[in-house]
């Protein structure tokens, strides 16, 4: 892609409400555009990053055997009346009427809808366990939407649901998701802490929030820093190893504010290991047994032919929130660097261009074509402006590698820079092999 052709409306004017870095940066680099309070359009640059995050989330869900499906954004109020949440959910739910006057709503979450799908399709334990997920827009009429995509009304979420015959089996599904979440956040180059949490309006008795450290986060973190020492590679993907994994994590202190008790914290965690800080919730998992299946009559035949309520859990990841959360975690000294796994482009070629010297641009185009041939996702900054402006712009956009075609380059060697590192002069072949890794 040529930068001059890319729809990337970079702006200097920021609205007063853009208080945190990620919000400012996403607006400045034209990743998003607010359409009304808490509702955004995703422009090409932001959309590309979000889609890459979505794909990593999807791959990790598929790896644990979860199956992707798609449920609608609009739901009927009937199923919510059956579960009893139609009244309980409160004003965050956007309630609408269709032309027949039927009450419908824009889904804030999908426990009821998936239970309805399940109860009409599965009758026997033989089809269990099942893990189903979709990645779909949600709407919550947040009282104070803020921080850009971090807390908005319309947001993109991966939500998964597990179905098991017994509470014991259901915890195995919970452990799989726990593992999958840690792997997902690792691939996004994030250190997420699983914190024991209250279950809130979703309900149930077992729950973890996955939170990443960030000063601008809205969640309080109380944790033992040994939580970062647990190596996920120690565990195999089988039920007993995953059970051990969750126990190992649970042994190390990490709780949300509702569960925090100062005395207990001081007793259990040495002063030098205490983390008391702010974080961003990027995922939340719940085990709630028959909270929905019972009132909604989602029954299956067990091995003896007896009807029993299916045991369920639900598992969310804030895919759109993650775009902002990753910026908060990675932005440093006024420079943005995306993790390679989700960067909008892998590398940008920045030629020094002037009116009477187009030679660098021609060289840059040749490099561009070479890299394209290798299937490397490359951006060419062909915009006619001075180098210092170009560098400022790329500090914001955060593409992890730069090839600079200017005074330091000759016919075959170019300046190659990994953001936040010093540059090297390398031949195109060396550059190619570095980018292929």
Q: Does 85 bind ligand ATP (CB under 6 A)?
A: no
Q: Does 140 bind ligand ATP (CB under 6 A)?
A: yes
Of residues 45, 114, 206, 282, which one binds ligand ATP by CB under 6 A? 282
DSSP 226-241: GGGG--GGG--SSHHH
Which residue, 151 or 417, is less far from ligand ATP as judged by CB? 151
Q: CA-to-CA distance for 109 and 221, rounded, in angstroms? A: 25
The vertex-399 CA angle with 136 and 43, nearest 5°, equals 40
In the complex, least distance from residue 17 CB atom to ligand ATP, rounded to whole angstroms: 15
Q: Does 316 bind ligand ATP (CB under 6 A)?
A: yes
Of residues 148, 279, 283, 398, which one binds ligand ATP by CB under 6 A? 283
Strands 103-106 and 94-97 turn out to be antiparallel
In the complex, least distance from residue 18 CB atom to ligand ATP, rounded to whole angstroms: 16
Q: CA-to-CA distance for 126 and 302, rounded, in angstroms? A: 8
Binding residues among 252-281 for ligand ATP as defined by CB under 6 A: 281
Which residue, 89 or 391, is less far from ligand ATP as judged by CB? 89
In the complex, least distance from residue 221 CB atom to ligand ATP, rounded to whole angstroms: 13
| Torsion angle of C-alpha atoms 332, 333, 334, 338, degrees rounded to 10 | -30
In the complex, least distance from residue 156 CB atom to ligand ATP, rounded to whole angstroms: 8
Number of residues in contact with ligand ATP under rule CB under 6 A: 16
Binding residues among 95-114 for ligand ATP as defined by CB under 6 A: 109
Of residues 85, 284, 330, 390, which one binds ligand ATP by CB under 6 A? 284
Handedness of CA 161, 165, 167, 172 (dihedral sign): negative
Candidate segments 10-18, 121-129, 150-158, 356-364, binder of ligand ATP by CB under 6 A: 150-158
Q: Which residues pair with 161 in a beta bridge?
A: 132, 314
Q: CA-to-CA distance for 198 and 257, rounded, in angstroms? A: 9
Which residue, 71 or 269, is less far from ligand ATP as judged by CB? 71
What does each C-alpha distance from 82 to 103, 118, 259 come to in angstroms? 14, 15, 30
First to last CA, the chain: 21
Q: Does 152 bind ligand ATP (CB under 6 A)?
A: yes
In the complex, least distance from residue 343 CB atom to ligand ATP, rounded to whole angstroms: 21
Strands 311-318 and 274-289 turn out to be antiparallel
In the complex, least distance from residue 205 CB atom to ligand ATP, rounded to whole angstroms: 16
Which residue, 138 or 337, is less far from ligand ATP as judged by CB? 138
In the complex, least distance from residue 195 CB atom to ligand ATP, rounded to whole angstroms: 11
HEC-encoded secondary structure of 167-220: HHHHHHHHHHHHHHHHHHHHHCCCCEEEEECCCHHHCCCEEEEEEEECCCCCEE
Q: Does 321 bind ligand ATP (CB under 6 A)?
A: yes
Which residue, 173 or 314, is less far from ligand ATP as judged by CB? 314
**Chain residues that interact with ligand ATP, rule: CB under 6 A:** 109, 140, 142, 151-152, 155, 157, 200, 281-284, 316, 318, 320-321
């Amino acid at each position: 892609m040529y930068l001059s052709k890319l729809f990337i409306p970079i702006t200097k004017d920021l609205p007063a409400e853009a208080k945190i870095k990620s919000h400012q940066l996403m607006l400045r680099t034209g990743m998003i555009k607010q359409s009304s309070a808490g509702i955004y359009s995703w422009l090409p640059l932001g959309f590309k990053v979000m889609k890459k995050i979505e794909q990593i989330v999807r791959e990790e869900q598929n790896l644990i055997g979860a199956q992707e499906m798609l449920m609608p954004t609009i739901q009927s109020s009937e199923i919510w009346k059956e579960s009893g949440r139609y009244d309980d959910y409160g004003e965050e739910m956007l309630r609408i009427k269709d032309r027949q006057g039927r009450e419908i709503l824009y889904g804030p979450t999908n426990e009821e809808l998936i239970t309805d799908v399940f109860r009409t399709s599965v009758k026997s334990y033989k089809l269990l366990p099942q893990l189903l997920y979709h990645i779909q827009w949600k709407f919550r009429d947040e009282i104070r939407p803020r921080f850009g995509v971090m807390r908005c009304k319309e947001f993109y979420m991966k939500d998964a649901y597990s179905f098991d015959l017994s509470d014991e089996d259901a915890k195995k599904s919970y452990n799989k998701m726990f593992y999958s979440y840690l792997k997902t956040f690792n691939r996004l180059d994030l250190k997420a802490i699983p914190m024991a949490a209250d279950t809130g309006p979703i309900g149930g008795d077992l729950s973890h929030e996955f939170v990443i450290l960030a000063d601008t986060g809205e969640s309080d973190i109380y944790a033992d820093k040994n939580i970062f020492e647990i190596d996920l590679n120690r565990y195999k993907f089988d039920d007993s190893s995953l059970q051990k994994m969750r126990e190992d994590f649970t042994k190390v202190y990490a709780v949300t504010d509702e569960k925090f008790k100062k005395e207990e914290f001081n007793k259990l965690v040495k002063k030098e290991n205490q983390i008391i800080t702010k974080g961003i919730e990027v995922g939340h998992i719940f085990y709630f047994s028959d909270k929905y299946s019972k009132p909604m009559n989602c029954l299956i035949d067990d091995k003896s032919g007896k009807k029993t309520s299916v045991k369920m859990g639900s598992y969310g990841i804030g895919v759109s929130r993650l775009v902002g959360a990753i910026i908060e975690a990675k932005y440093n000294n006024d420079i943005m660097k995306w993790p390679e796994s989700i960067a909008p482009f892998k590398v940008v070629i920045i030629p020094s261009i002037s009116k009477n010297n187009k030679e660098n641009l021609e060289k840059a185009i040749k490099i561009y074509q070479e890299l394209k041939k290798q299937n490397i996702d490359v951006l060419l900054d062909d915009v006619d402006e001075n180098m210092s402006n170009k560098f400022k712009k790329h500090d914001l956009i955060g593409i992890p590698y730069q090839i600079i075609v200017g005074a330091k380059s000759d016919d075959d060697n170019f300046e190659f820079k990994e953001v936040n590192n010093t540059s090297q002069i390398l031949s195109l072949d060396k550059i190619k092999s570095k980018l292929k890794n």
